[in-house]
Amino acid sequence: MDDDIGKVSAALNELPGVAGRVSALRLKGGIATLVLDASGLAPEARSNFQHRIRTMLEAMPEVDQVRIALTEEKVHRTIIAVGSGKGGVGKSTLAANLAIALARAGRTVGLVDADIYGPSQPRIMGNEQRPDAVEKQIIPVDAHGVKMLSIGQLVEAGTALAWRGPMVTSALGQLMDGEWSDRDLMIVDLPPGTGDIQMSLVQKWRPAGAVIVSTPQDLALIDATRAIDLFRKMNVPVIGLVENMAGYACPHCGEISDPFGSGGAEAAAGTLGIPFLGRIPLSLSIREASDAGTPPAIGDGEEAALFSTLATKLLDQMKSLENRV
Protein backbone atom coordinates (compact mmCIF):
# COMPACT_ATOMS: atom_id res chain seq x y z
CA MET A 1 0.00 0.00 0.00
CA ASP A 2 2.84 2.37 0.84
CA ASP A 3 4.36 1.69 -2.57
CA ASP A 4 1.03 2.47 -4.24
CA ILE A 5 0.56 5.80 -2.47
CA GLY A 6 4.20 6.59 -3.22
CA LYS A 7 3.48 6.10 -6.93
CA VAL A 8 0.38 8.32 -6.74
CA SER A 9 2.33 11.02 -4.90
CA ALA A 10 5.18 10.89 -7.41
CA ALA A 11 2.75 11.09 -10.33
CA LEU A 12 1.05 14.15 -8.81
CA ASN A 13 4.37 15.91 -8.27
CA GLU A 14 5.19 15.52 -11.95
CA LEU A 15 2.16 17.59 -12.94
CA PRO A 16 3.05 21.27 -13.57
CA GLY A 17 1.79 23.64 -10.90
CA VAL A 18 0.84 20.96 -8.36
CA ALA A 19 3.73 21.48 -5.94
CA GLY A 20 2.49 22.85 -2.65
CA ARG A 21 -1.18 22.62 -3.59
CA VAL A 22 -1.94 18.99 -2.69
CA SER A 23 -2.30 17.78 0.89
CA ALA A 24 -3.94 14.98 2.91
CA LEU A 25 -3.30 12.45 0.14
CA ARG A 26 -4.71 8.99 0.93
CA LEU A 27 -5.22 5.76 -1.02
CA LYS A 28 -7.47 3.11 0.48
CA GLY A 29 -9.39 0.38 -1.28
CA GLY A 30 -8.53 1.90 -4.66
CA ILE A 31 -10.04 5.27 -3.63
CA ALA A 32 -7.63 8.21 -3.84
CA THR A 33 -8.59 11.25 -1.77
CA LEU A 34 -6.76 14.54 -1.59
CA VAL A 35 -7.20 18.20 -0.72
CA LEU A 36 -6.41 20.67 -3.51
CA ASP A 37 -5.63 24.29 -2.62
CA ALA A 38 -7.15 26.43 -5.40
CA SER A 39 -6.18 29.81 -3.93
CA GLY A 40 -5.66 32.50 -6.57
CA LEU A 41 -6.99 30.41 -9.44
CA ALA A 42 -9.76 31.77 -11.64
CA PRO A 43 -12.82 29.49 -11.95
CA GLU A 44 -11.83 28.11 -15.37
CA ALA A 45 -8.22 27.50 -14.30
CA ARG A 46 -9.45 25.83 -11.10
CA SER A 47 -11.75 23.54 -13.07
CA ASN A 48 -9.02 22.65 -15.57
CA PHE A 49 -6.52 21.98 -12.78
CA GLN A 50 -8.90 19.65 -10.99
CA HIS A 51 -9.73 17.87 -14.26
CA ARG A 52 -6.03 17.25 -15.05
CA ILE A 53 -5.42 15.72 -11.64
CA ARG A 54 -8.53 13.57 -11.81
CA THR A 55 -7.75 12.33 -15.34
CA MET A 56 -4.16 11.48 -14.46
CA LEU A 57 -5.06 9.59 -11.29
CA GLU A 58 -7.94 7.67 -12.86
CA ALA A 59 -5.53 6.38 -15.51
CA MET A 60 -3.33 4.72 -12.84
CA PRO A 61 -3.93 0.98 -12.20
CA GLU A 62 -3.72 1.56 -8.41
CA VAL A 63 -6.68 3.97 -8.48
CA ASP A 64 -10.33 3.06 -9.07
CA GLN A 65 -11.93 6.28 -7.84
CA VAL A 66 -10.79 9.86 -7.17
CA ARG A 67 -12.21 12.22 -4.59
CA ILE A 68 -10.92 15.80 -4.56
CA ALA A 69 -11.80 18.42 -1.94
CA LEU A 70 -11.15 22.00 -3.03
CA THR A 71 -10.04 24.63 -0.56
CA GLU A 72 -9.29 28.29 -1.11
CA GLU A 73 -7.76 30.98 1.04
CA LYS A 74 -10.32 33.74 0.98
CA VAL A 75 -9.18 37.29 0.31
CA HIS A 76 -10.46 39.63 3.00
CA ARG A 77 -12.79 41.89 1.08
CA THR A 78 -13.81 45.37 2.18
CA ILE A 79 -17.10 46.64 0.78
CA ILE A 80 -17.68 50.37 0.39
CA ALA A 81 -21.18 51.54 -0.54
CA VAL A 82 -21.48 54.73 -2.61
CA GLY A 83 -24.94 56.21 -2.13
CA SER A 84 -27.01 59.34 -2.49
CA GLY A 85 -30.36 60.53 -1.24
CA LYS A 86 -31.58 61.46 -4.72
CA GLY A 87 -30.74 60.88 -8.36
CA GLY A 88 -28.93 63.25 -10.69
CA VAL A 89 -26.06 64.11 -8.35
CA GLY A 90 -23.36 62.31 -10.37
CA LYS A 91 -23.00 59.38 -7.97
CA SER A 92 -22.26 56.73 -10.62
CA THR A 93 -19.62 58.88 -12.32
CA LEU A 94 -17.99 59.48 -8.96
CA ALA A 95 -18.14 55.77 -8.02
CA ALA A 96 -16.47 54.77 -11.31
CA ASN A 97 -13.68 57.31 -11.02
CA LEU A 98 -13.16 56.51 -7.35
CA ALA A 99 -12.82 52.79 -8.16
CA ILE A 100 -10.21 53.57 -10.84
CA ALA A 101 -8.31 55.94 -8.53
CA LEU A 102 -8.23 53.29 -5.79
CA ALA A 103 -6.91 50.72 -8.29
CA ARG A 104 -4.20 53.17 -9.36
CA ALA A 105 -3.33 53.55 -5.67
CA GLY A 106 -2.50 49.84 -5.56
CA ARG A 107 -5.74 48.23 -4.38
CA THR A 108 -7.38 45.31 -6.22
CA VAL A 109 -10.79 46.81 -6.87
CA GLY A 110 -14.15 45.44 -7.91
CA LEU A 111 -17.07 47.65 -8.97
CA VAL A 112 -20.68 46.48 -8.62
CA ASP A 113 -23.34 48.52 -10.37
CA ALA A 114 -26.21 47.91 -7.95
CA ASP A 115 -28.53 50.41 -9.62
CA ILE A 116 -30.64 47.62 -11.11
CA TYR A 117 -33.28 49.85 -12.71
CA GLY A 118 -30.83 52.41 -14.11
CA PRO A 119 -27.42 50.79 -14.68
CA SER A 120 -24.86 53.19 -16.13
CA GLN A 121 -21.46 51.72 -15.24
CA PRO A 122 -21.00 49.74 -18.48
CA ARG A 123 -21.19 53.02 -20.43
CA ILE A 124 -19.07 55.01 -17.98
CA MET A 125 -16.41 52.30 -17.71
CA GLY A 126 -16.38 51.64 -21.45
CA ASN A 127 -17.11 47.91 -21.31
CA GLU A 128 -20.58 46.67 -22.21
CA GLN A 129 -19.59 43.08 -23.04
CA ARG A 130 -21.69 40.28 -21.60
CA PRO A 131 -19.79 38.49 -18.81
CA ASP A 132 -19.22 34.74 -18.81
CA ALA A 133 -20.38 32.43 -16.04
CA VAL A 134 -18.86 29.27 -14.60
CA GLU A 135 -21.19 27.00 -12.64
CA LYS A 136 -23.74 29.85 -12.32
CA GLN A 137 -21.13 32.25 -10.90
CA ILE A 138 -20.70 35.38 -13.01
CA ILE A 139 -17.16 36.36 -14.01
CA PRO A 140 -16.55 40.14 -13.84
CA VAL A 141 -15.16 41.96 -16.87
CA ASP A 142 -12.05 44.15 -16.86
CA ALA A 143 -12.26 47.90 -17.29
CA HIS A 144 -9.42 50.36 -16.67
CA GLY A 145 -7.73 48.18 -14.03
CA VAL A 146 -11.03 47.47 -12.25
CA LYS A 147 -13.22 44.36 -12.42
CA MET A 148 -16.88 45.20 -12.91
CA LEU A 149 -20.36 43.70 -12.98
CA SER A 150 -23.65 45.39 -13.84
CA ILE A 151 -27.15 44.22 -14.68
CA GLY A 152 -26.68 46.44 -17.74
CA GLN A 153 -24.31 43.80 -19.13
CA LEU A 154 -26.90 41.06 -18.73
CA VAL A 155 -30.00 42.58 -20.34
CA GLU A 156 -30.64 44.13 -23.73
CA ALA A 157 -29.78 47.84 -23.91
CA GLY A 158 -32.83 50.02 -23.34
CA THR A 159 -34.87 47.21 -21.80
CA ALA A 160 -37.20 48.34 -19.02
CA LEU A 161 -36.81 46.15 -15.93
CA ALA A 162 -40.29 45.92 -14.41
CA TRP A 163 -39.12 43.86 -11.45
CA ARG A 164 -40.54 43.75 -7.95
CA GLY A 165 -38.41 43.71 -4.80
CA PRO A 166 -37.55 39.97 -4.62
CA MET A 167 -36.32 39.91 -8.24
CA VAL A 168 -34.23 43.04 -7.67
CA THR A 169 -32.56 41.66 -4.56
CA SER A 170 -31.96 38.35 -6.38
CA ALA A 171 -30.19 40.27 -9.18
CA LEU A 172 -28.10 42.09 -6.58
CA GLY A 173 -27.11 38.72 -5.11
CA GLN A 174 -25.87 37.47 -8.48
CA LEU A 175 -23.67 40.54 -8.86
CA MET A 176 -22.34 40.55 -5.30
CA ASP A 177 -21.64 36.80 -5.38
CA GLY A 178 -19.72 36.96 -8.66
CA GLU A 179 -16.15 35.69 -8.93
CA TRP A 180 -14.46 38.41 -6.85
CA SER A 181 -11.91 36.11 -5.18
CA ASP A 182 -8.88 38.28 -6.01
CA ARG A 183 -10.46 41.65 -5.12
CA ASP A 184 -9.66 43.16 -1.74
CA LEU A 185 -11.88 46.24 -2.11
CA MET A 186 -15.39 46.42 -3.53
CA ILE A 187 -17.10 49.65 -4.55
CA VAL A 188 -20.89 49.25 -4.75
CA ASP A 189 -22.69 51.94 -6.75
CA LEU A 190 -26.12 52.03 -5.11
CA PRO A 191 -29.33 53.38 -6.64
CA PRO A 192 -30.49 56.70 -5.21
CA GLY A 193 -32.70 56.67 -2.14
CA THR A 194 -33.15 54.25 0.76
CA GLY A 195 -34.96 51.20 -0.60
CA ASP A 196 -34.75 47.42 -0.96
CA ILE A 197 -31.26 47.29 -2.45
CA GLN A 198 -29.70 49.41 0.28
CA MET A 199 -31.39 47.31 2.98
CA SER A 200 -30.39 44.00 1.35
CA LEU A 201 -26.78 45.09 0.85
CA VAL A 202 -26.41 46.09 4.49
CA GLN A 203 -28.18 43.05 5.91
CA LYS A 204 -26.42 40.39 3.83
CA TRP A 205 -23.02 41.82 2.85
CA ARG A 206 -22.30 44.32 5.65
CA PRO A 207 -20.34 47.17 4.03
CA ALA A 208 -17.37 48.43 6.01
CA GLY A 209 -18.59 51.96 5.34
CA ALA A 210 -20.55 54.28 3.07
CA VAL A 211 -19.64 57.32 0.99
CA ILE A 212 -22.50 59.77 0.38
CA VAL A 213 -22.58 61.97 -2.72
CA SER A 214 -24.53 65.23 -2.87
CA THR A 215 -24.64 68.43 -4.85
CA PRO A 216 -24.29 71.63 -2.79
CA GLN A 217 -27.90 72.85 -2.82
CA ASP A 218 -30.25 72.45 0.13
CA LEU A 219 -32.72 70.12 -1.62
CA ALA A 220 -30.04 67.53 -2.42
CA LEU A 221 -28.59 67.81 1.08
CA ILE A 222 -31.98 67.10 2.65
CA ASP A 223 -32.09 63.80 0.75
CA ALA A 224 -28.41 63.07 1.44
CA THR A 225 -29.15 63.42 5.15
CA ARG A 226 -31.80 60.69 4.83
CA ALA A 227 -29.24 58.34 3.23
CA ILE A 228 -26.78 59.09 6.02
CA ASP A 229 -29.48 58.39 8.60
CA LEU A 230 -30.26 54.99 7.02
CA PHE A 231 -26.64 53.82 7.22
CA ARG A 232 -26.29 55.09 10.77
CA LYS A 233 -29.45 53.28 11.88
CA MET A 234 -28.10 50.08 10.34
CA ASN A 235 -24.71 50.52 12.03
CA VAL A 236 -22.73 51.15 8.83
CA PRO A 237 -20.12 53.87 9.40
CA VAL A 238 -20.41 56.86 7.08
CA ILE A 239 -16.85 57.32 5.79
CA GLY A 240 -17.59 60.76 4.45
CA LEU A 241 -19.54 63.14 2.24
CA VAL A 242 -18.49 64.26 -1.25
CA GLU A 243 -19.76 67.49 -2.78
CA ASN A 244 -20.23 66.92 -6.50
CA MET A 245 -20.91 69.49 -9.26
CA ALA A 246 -19.31 72.11 -7.00
CA GLY A 247 -18.53 75.16 -9.11
CA TYR A 248 -18.34 75.59 -12.87
CA ALA A 249 -15.48 77.18 -14.80
CA CYS A 250 -16.68 78.85 -18.00
CA PRO A 251 -14.67 77.36 -20.90
CA HIS A 252 -14.67 80.74 -22.69
CA CYS A 253 -13.80 83.30 -20.00
CA GLY A 254 -12.63 81.08 -17.14
CA GLU A 255 -14.98 82.71 -14.65
CA ILE A 256 -16.14 80.42 -11.82
CA SER A 257 -19.86 80.27 -11.08
CA ASP A 258 -21.87 78.14 -8.66
CA PRO A 259 -25.13 77.02 -10.31
CA PHE A 260 -25.87 74.62 -7.45
CA GLY A 261 -24.51 76.81 -4.68
CA SER A 262 -21.21 76.36 -2.87
CA GLY A 263 -19.99 74.71 0.31
CA GLY A 264 -23.34 73.26 1.35
CA ALA A 265 -22.09 69.66 1.59
CA GLU A 266 -19.03 70.63 3.59
CA ALA A 267 -21.19 72.60 6.02
CA ALA A 268 -23.64 69.69 6.27
CA ALA A 269 -20.80 67.26 6.99
CA GLY A 270 -19.69 69.48 9.87
CA THR A 271 -23.22 69.67 11.25
CA LEU A 272 -23.71 65.90 10.97
CA GLY A 273 -20.32 65.10 12.44
CA ILE A 274 -18.98 63.15 9.45
CA PRO A 275 -15.78 63.69 7.43
CA PHE A 276 -15.88 65.87 4.33
CA LEU A 277 -13.90 64.03 1.64
CA GLY A 278 -13.76 66.81 -0.95
CA ARG A 279 -15.52 68.44 -3.87
CA ILE A 280 -15.60 67.67 -7.58
CA PRO A 281 -16.50 70.51 -9.99
CA LEU A 282 -19.30 70.57 -12.53
CA SER A 283 -17.24 69.86 -15.63
CA LEU A 284 -18.05 69.40 -19.29
CA SER A 285 -14.93 67.28 -19.78
CA ILE A 286 -15.94 64.88 -16.98
CA ARG A 287 -19.36 64.47 -18.59
CA GLU A 288 -17.90 63.94 -22.07
CA ALA A 289 -15.30 61.45 -20.79
CA SER A 290 -17.99 59.51 -18.92
CA ASP A 291 -20.20 59.30 -22.00
CA ALA A 292 -17.20 58.09 -24.01
CA GLY A 293 -16.27 55.33 -21.53
CA THR A 294 -12.93 56.96 -20.68
CA PRO A 295 -13.31 58.22 -17.09
CA PRO A 296 -10.90 61.08 -16.31
CA ALA A 297 -9.37 59.13 -13.40
CA ILE A 298 -7.47 57.00 -15.94
CA GLY A 299 -5.40 60.01 -17.01
CA ASP A 300 -2.86 62.31 -15.41
CA GLY A 301 -4.60 65.66 -15.61
CA GLU A 302 -6.20 67.97 -13.06
CA GLU A 303 -9.40 65.94 -12.82
CA ALA A 304 -7.52 62.68 -12.33
CA ALA A 305 -5.67 64.35 -9.45
CA LEU A 306 -8.99 65.29 -7.83
CA PHE A 307 -10.14 61.67 -7.81
CA SER A 308 -6.71 60.50 -6.64
CA THR A 309 -6.94 62.88 -3.67
CA LEU A 310 -10.46 61.64 -2.96
CA ALA A 311 -9.25 58.02 -2.98
CA THR A 312 -6.40 58.87 -0.60
CA LYS A 313 -8.78 60.58 1.83
CA LEU A 314 -11.15 57.63 1.70
CA LEU A 315 -8.34 55.18 2.49
CA ASP A 316 -7.18 57.40 5.36
CA GLN A 317 -10.69 57.47 6.80
CA MET A 318 -10.95 53.69 6.49
CA LYS A 319 -7.72 53.30 8.45
CA SER A 320 -9.09 55.67 11.07
CA LEU A 321 -12.25 53.56 11.36
CA GLU A 322 -10.20 50.36 11.71
CA ASN A 323 -8.11 51.92 14.48
CA ARG A 324 -11.25 52.75 16.44
CA VAL A 325 -12.50 49.17 16.39
Q: Is 89 annotated as a binding residue?
A: yes
Nearest to 108 by CA among 183, 198, 186, 10: 183
88 is annotated as contributing to ligand binding:
yes
92 is in an annotated binding site: yes
150 labelled as ligand-binding?
no
Is position 85 annotated in a ligand binding site?
A: yes
Q: Are 179 and 140 contacting, i.e. CB atoms less than 8 angstroms apart?
A: yes
Q: Are 215 and 89 in contact (CB under 8 A)?
A: yes
59 with 166: CB under 8 angstroms?
no
214 assigned ligand-binding residue: no
90 is in an annotated binding site: yes
CA neighbor of 295 nearest in space, from 76, 130, 122: 122
Phi, psi of 24 (to 5 degrees): 55, 40
| Residue 91 marked as a ligand binder | yes
Query: How far is residue 211 from each of residues 23, 69, 117, 179, 269, measured CA to CA in Å?
Result: 43, 40, 21, 24, 12
What phi and psi values does residue 249 have, to the nearest 5 degrees?
Answer: -95, 120
Show binding-site residues for ATP: 85-92
Show binding-site residues: 85-92
